[in-house]
A and B are shown apart, each in its own frame.
Chain A
Amino acid sequence: MMKRILTLLIALMFAGPAFAQGGPLRLTITDGVIEPITFAVPSFEAETPQAGQLASELTRLVAQNLSGTGLFREVPASAFISQVGSFAQPVAFADWRAVNAQALVIGAVSMTGDQVNVKFRLFDVFSGQELGGGLQFAGTTAGWRRMGHKVSDAVYSRITGEGGYFDSRVVFVAESGPKDNRLKRLAVMDYDGANVQFLTDSSSIVLAPRFSPRGDQVLYTSFESGFPRINLLDVADVARRQIATAPGEMSFSPRFSRDGRQVIYSLSNGATTDIYRTDLDTGQHVRLTATPSIDTAPSLSPDGSQIVFESDRSGSQQLYIMSSTGGDARRISFGEGRYSTPVWSPRGDLVAFTKQNAGRFHIGVMRTDGSEERLLTSSFLDEAPTWSPNGRVIMFTRETQGADGASALYSVDISGRNLRAVPIQSAASDASWGPLQP
């Protein structure tokens, strides 16, 4: 007995220190910093004489794209210690470390006729390694911006590990004229407000355009007939047609299903508005809600299994989630004020919404169970959020107060940082962010 006790004591005596001293030094870090990642983009090399101008413009575009996310900060060229000679030349990492550039993008542009070839390489400066292999894109001079966006997306996604969103388009309602006689047209643009193209004329009012999952079609609500009706427009040739919805007085607030084959929308009959689904191929209609209330603004989850929508069945506008085949819905919004226009994030983890409370409007997000609600913006009137293809940025409409108030598109990071106005010549509203282009 004594032996055992003694043995145990001795073992304990030595075991403690042995464990404490042996093995690696262990630390836990919980407080990092939140700051942009610094990057340097020396002007792309012009491999052919006539590519000089384009190389420089592409370089600027890439830098703007990255800086515009708020996640990156460019090291100005004036701080560079060394210049990058040729594309294949080894990189002097020490020089880039010295100017505290964490990432380095070098590129080269060649041009023959109107054919353009852009290639780039990305380096992690502090580890002295290349991130991914080199990539190159071929296109035409007319499409040079897309090539710049492609390069930016590749850089963004290699550094952040998430998909990019630069090479994407946004459909929106371009507005002109005074507030009491606003002219509205459908238009598409690059994510950054460039390349605006109009899809309809201003002869009738249009509302709430929605891109198809592939970005080749647009659903929108038109007042051409005097009543709101859902139309489908082909982006390529601007051909449009009205969709045969279930019978009702008004149909509006349409959205594509994830496969683009079906449309979910609201149909109003008398005092009630319910959510329906119509198959574009077969023309079949399915009623998904049946309550004596206004159920509208449906949005499908990325996997297509659920629908989030707004309803006033509790007495005020709140958010609900139900199966995509209908049935019982569960309420997810419980804060003060009214919630509307929910949109399911492409990542699937969040729902963005408009919230009206105490005389102000907010764009916010919450998890799909209603928890962790965060308001990202606050203004006289913010509404109609739409997600970037990677679920990282929300674009929305902000309207200024007063008789000469106008609406404009803004974007904000889901962290609530980096609020920016999308630079468009005209007033704009009701944006729908399309997918990343192929």
Chain B
Amino acid sequence: MTVPTDKMQTPGMYISAVGHLGLIGWLLLGWGMQSQPLPMQVMDVSVMSGEEFEQMMAARTPTPGDAPPTAPVQPQIEQTPPPPAVETPPEPAPVPLPVETPVSEAPPPPAPEMPPADVTDAAPAAPAPPEMPAPAPDLPPSDDPTQAPANRIASTPTAPPPPDAQISDIAREAVVPDETATAEVAVPEQQATAPEQTATEIVIADERPRGAVETSIRPIARPARPAPPAPEQETATAEPTPDPAPTPAPVPDTSDAVADALAAAVASSAAPAVQAGPPMTGSERDSFRIAVNSCWNVDPGSVAARVIVEVGFTLNRDGTLDGEPRLLSSDGDQSATSTAFEAARRAILRCQRGGYQLPADKYDQWREVVITFDPSGMRLR
């Protein structure tokens, strides 16, 4: 909303305001009732400085600019259309951006805002209801940071304002770079994403997954944004333009550092999180421990009884051993260590019998096991 300077000065703005109000009213009254999602374009735009944007892009997008950020207003527009053509595919760009391209490519419906990749997974027309429970999407961790923001904003649909040249200038700087980047990157993916109509709902679906993590940060900056894209309107209406904005938008407003930390955190936690649901319970761990206990034969008179060894091994899904136990560490000399390790190895091998009884749904948590065999409590006293 903070679009600078000349408010109401131009007829364009006037029209825009009226249009917005009308749209909002219409949304309030009619939107909820509608069974069919209208084909609308959602544009997320945020204002940021060219510097910020460049920084961001430098960090994220592998392919920097074909188009210099500031100047080429029109070229962008032109460029955008091309994406539909198959040509673009050659460029293997980062996953995140592809979002919009799909639209342009296939049919007229410009709708699909969000991440194409996800779309594929989610059933096309399926219900997009914004539900909080977030099953982790299959997206690669890296995607999240970038796209997530866009989705948030997108939720508020905005009608494209009437075309006005002037405003466009202001906005361009920010927008332009995005487009270029987006366009190139996006193209390849689109094809896969195919489903055209689904777009609206799919978007929501995508939001879900990230929602859990990002929600807290997002909300503040985004909601207000919708209007800015004015400049390109015409083009935008036509198709792809809207997209570019979303990606960059969120980041600049919030702090980069925060975003980065979040991204890093999500990335690091994403991998393990995918593994399995709830952590193993104490009793599950205990029963496993007891199972091995009962086969760990300690000879208290042996020098090995003074050695603590750490043994690692891998389990199959059925609880049987996959390969041999490995000695990871020891605090004793070589011969004592080898004896202690043998005892530990025998315990693990012998007690597996038909396979250790472990919760199958948490396989990822017990696939790799490290057991420390500590006989210090059993030494002769």
One of B27-35, B68-76, B167-175, B301-309 at the interface: B301-309
Shortest CB-to-CB span from B294 to chain A, Å, is 6
Is B297 touching A34 in the complex (CB atoms < 8 A)?
Answer: yes
Note all chain B residues with C-beta closer than 8 A to A6. Answer: 255, 257-258, 261
Of chain A, the residue at the smallest CB distance from B362 is A25
Inter-chain contacts of B268 with A (CB < 8 A): 14-15, 18
Chain B residues whose C-beta falls within 8 Å of the C-beta of A8 in the assembled complex: 261
Q: Does the CB pair B269–A17 fall under 8 Å?
A: yes
Q: Does B345 count as interface, using CB distance less than 8 angstroms?
A: yes
Q: How far is the CB of A390 from chain B (nearest CB, A)?
A: 10
Provide the residues of chain A in CB contact with B289, threshold 8 Å.
27, 29
- A37 to B302 alpha-carbon distance, docked (Å): 14
A11 touches B265 (CB 8 A): yes
Docked complex Cα distance between A236 and B227 (Å): 110
| B346 located at the interface, meaning its Cβ lies under 8 Å from any Cβ of chain A in the complex | yes
Give A102 Cβ to nearest chain B Cβ, in Å: 6
* Bound CA–CA A5/B272 (angstroms): 26
* A24 close to B (CB within 8 Å): yes
Q: Does A32 contact B (CB under 8 A)?
A: yes
**A20 lies within 8 A of chain B by Cβ:** yes
Q: Bound state CA distance, A32 and B275, in angstroms?
A: 31
- Asked if residues A28 and B261 are in contact (CB atoms below 8 Å), the reply is no
Pair B374/A28 contact, Cβ less than 8 Å: yes
How far does the Cβ of B315 sit from chain A's closest Cβ, in whole Å? 9
B11 interface residue per 8 A CB criterion: no
> Within the assembled complex, what's the spacing in Å between the Cα atoms of A126 and B344?
12
Q: In the complex, A365→B200 CA distance in Å?
A: 82
Tell whether A21 is near chain B: CB-to-CB under 8 Å: yes
**Which one of A7, A32, A413 lies within 8 Å of B297 (CB-CB)?**
A32
**In whole angstroms, how far apart are the Cα atoms of A37 and B280 in the complex?**
33
Q: Bound complex: CA of A416 vs CA of B381, how far in Å? A: 10
Interface size bucket, A side? 35 or more
In the complex, A161→B301 CA distance in Å?
12
Minimum CB–CB distance for A11 against chain B, Å: 5
Bound CA span A372–B380, Å: 9
A414 interface contact, C-beta 8 A: yes
Measured between C-beta atoms, what is the minimum distance from A203 to chain B in Å? 42
A17 CA / B279 CA spacing, docked (Å):
10
Q: How far is the CB of B41 from chain A (nearest CB, A)?
A: 32
A89 at the interface (CB under 8 A from B): no
Interface of B is mostly: helix
Q: What CA separation (Å) do A23 and B271 show in the bound complex?
A: 11
- Interface pair A29/B261, CB less than 8 Å apart: no
**What class of interface size applies to chain B in its complex with A?**
35 or more
Chain B 330-352 near chain A by CB (<8 Å), digits 1 or 0: 00000110110011011101100
A415 near B265 (CB under 8 angstroms)? no
Q: Could you say which of A2, A102, A161, A372 contacts B336, with CB atoms under 8 Å apart?
A: A161
Shortest Cβ distance from residue B263 to the other chain A in the assembled complex, whole angstroms: 10
- In the bound complex, do residue A20 and residue B279 qualify as a contact, i.e. CB atoms below 8 Å apart? yes
Q: Contacts A4-B257, A126-B350: A31 and B378 contacting too (C-beta < 8 A)?
A: yes
Closest B residue to A163 using CB positions? B335
The answer to whether residues A11 and B381 also contact, given A20-B279, A26-B372, A27-B289 and a CB cut-off of 8 A, is no
Tell yes or no: A271 within 8 A of B by CB. no
**Most B C-beta atoms less than 10 A away, residue of A15, A24, A28, A71:** A24
Given the known inter-chain contacts A11-B261, A161-B336, please indicate yes or no for A25 contacting B285, CB distance below 8 A: yes
Task: Tell me, in angstroms, the Cα distance from A374 to B300 when the chains sit together.
Answer: 13
Give the most central of B261, B367, B378: most A CB within 10 Å. Answer: B261
Give chain B interface residues in 319-372, CB to chain A under 8 Å.
324, 335-336, 338-339, 342-343, 345-347, 349-350, 365-372
Chain A residues, Cβ within 8 Å of B261? 6-8, 10-11
B299→A29 contact, CB < 8 A: no
Q: Give which listed residue, A26, A159, A347, contacts B370 with CB less than 8 A.
A: A26
Q: For the complex, is B264 an interface residue (Cβ under 8 Å from A)? A: yes
Residue of A nearest to B378 (CB): A32
Q: Is A425 an interface residue (CB 8 A)?
A: no
With CB as the reference atom, state the residue of chain B lying closest to A97: B350
Asked if residues B264 and A11 are in contact (CB atoms below 8 Å), the reply is: yes
Known contacts being A7-B257, A21-B365, A22-B271, is A27 close to B285, with CB within 8 Å?
Answer: yes
Q: Show 22 residue pairs from A and B whose CB-CB distance is below 8 angstroms, ordered by the A residue.
A: A3-B257, A7-B258, A7-B261, A10-B262, A10-B265, A11-B261, A13-B265, A14-B265, A17-B273, A18-B269, A24-B367, A28-B371, A28-B374, A30-B377, A31-B377, A34-B299, A161-B302, A161-B335, A162-B339, A392-B301, A414-B301, A415-B299
Extra inter-chain contacts (4) besides given A3-B255, A32-B298, CB under 8 Å: A25-B370, A28-B374, A29-B373, A102-B346
Please give me the 4 A-B residue pairs with the lowest Cβ-Cβ distance, nearest first. Answer: A161-B339, A14-B265, A24-B368, A32-B296
